[in-house]
């Protein structure tokens, strides 16, 4: 995989997670208070930095074949989960991820919660809301950056992709001061699911000992093939749902 593909994959994946973290931070900051919210965000970023500092160098000590087997398996499972959700969303079987609605829910919950100072933090609710949001979304960022970077033995570039995504999303968030509901998040998640699954399959099989036909060039077939299969499942599920509705509605009408 060339450097540009590594950078772009990590960038898009991390941008999606950063958009979700931004929604939570904005809800906490706007509704409660910014100081405690930013303290929570800083604490979460510190925990994530420690995780990267510990796990990143440790990965370089593992033999590449073993690393590819374990990371490939994890990425394939993780990617399948993303792809499954994205296909269910694209076909209407699961609600679309709506940052505007999530923001409204977080704001309502933040407004209802009582204010309490604890451990030097003025508003404990704002602190923990921001901390949990950034930490949970950030863990996915760290996972993707470390697995991709470790496998390509280019952690620096993967980290640069992740940091660039977070900075771009934060800058846009500061500029518009609203959740980024116009970001085509569901489409991006669909694309990321395809990339995670494809690379997981490629590295996992390589780690198990196979030689891909064409070596790294096989990825040029694996990624489009995964995309085609995913789009095929979307088309199939849409057709099945339409057929079910067509047979259900006349029965309901005749019953009425």
Partner 1 sequence: MTRWLRSFGAFWYDFIIGDDWRGAAVVAAALAATALLVHVASVNAWWLLPIAVIAALGWSLRRATAGKP
Residues written for the chain: 256
- Would you call 118 helix, strand, or coil by DSSP? strand
Summarize the chain as % helix, strand, coil (round to 5). 85, 0, 15
Binding segment for partner 1 among 3-11, 38-46, 169-177, 202-210 (CB under 8 A)?
A: 202-210
Task: Report the candidate in 197, 186, 182 with the shortest Cα–Cα distance to residue 230.
Answer: 197
Chosen residue from 189, 204, 223, 227 binding partner 1 by CB under 8 A:
204
245 near partner 1, judged by CB under 8 A: yes
Q: Can you tell me the distance from the alpha carbon of 245 to that of 228, in angstroms, rounded to the nearest whole number?
A: 26
73 near partner 1, judged by CB under 8 A: yes
107 near partner 1, judged by CB under 8 A: no
121 has which bridge partners? 118
In angstroms, what is the minimal distance from the CB of 68 to partner 1? 11
Chosen residue from 128, 164, 178, 233 binding partner 1 by CB under 8 A:
233
- Residues 137-166 within binding reach of partner 1 (CB under 8 A): 139-140, 143
Chosen residue from 76, 142, 169, 194 binding partner 1 by CB under 8 A:
76
187 near partner 1, judged by CB under 8 A: no
Of 32 and 89, which CB lies nearer to partner 1 in the complex structure?
89
Q: Can you tell me the distance from the alpha carbon of 232 to that of 187, in angstroms, rounded to the nearest whole number?
A: 15
Query: Alpha helices, DSSP H only, in 61-154?
Result: 64-90, 99-112, 124-151
102 near partner 1, judged by CB under 8 A: no
């Amino acid at each position: 995989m060339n450097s540009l593909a590594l950078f772009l994959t990590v960038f898009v994946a991390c941008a999606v997670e950063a958009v979700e973290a931004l929604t939570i931070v904005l809800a906490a900051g706007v509704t409660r208070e910014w100081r405690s919210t930013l303290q929570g965000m800083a604490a979460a970023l510190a925990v994530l930095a420690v995780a990267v500092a510990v796990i990143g160098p440790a990965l370089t000590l593992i033999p590449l074949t073993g690393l590819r087997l374990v990371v490939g398996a994890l990425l394939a499972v993780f990617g399948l989960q993303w792809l499954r959700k994205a296909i269910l969303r694209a076909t209407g079987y699961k609600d679309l991820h709506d940052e505007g609605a999530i923001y409204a829910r977080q704001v309502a919950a933040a407004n209802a919660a009582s204010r309490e100072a604890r451990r030097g933090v003025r508003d404990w609710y704002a602190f923990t809301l921001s901390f949990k949001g950034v930490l949970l979304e950030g863990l996915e960022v760290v996972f993707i950056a470390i697995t991709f970077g470790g496998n390509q033995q280019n952690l620096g570039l993967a980290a640069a992709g992740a940091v660039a995504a977070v900075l771009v999303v934060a800058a846009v968030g500061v500029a518009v001061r609203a959740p980024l509901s116009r970001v085509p998040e569901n489409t991006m998640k669909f694309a990321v699911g395809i990339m995670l699954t494809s690379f997981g399959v490629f590295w996992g099989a390589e780690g198990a000992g196979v030689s891909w036909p064409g070596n790294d060039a096989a990825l040029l077939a694996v990624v489009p093939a995964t995309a085609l299969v995913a789009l095929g499942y979307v088309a199939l599920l849409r057709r099945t749902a339409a057929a079910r509705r067509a047979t259900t509605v006349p029965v309901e009408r005749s019953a009425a």
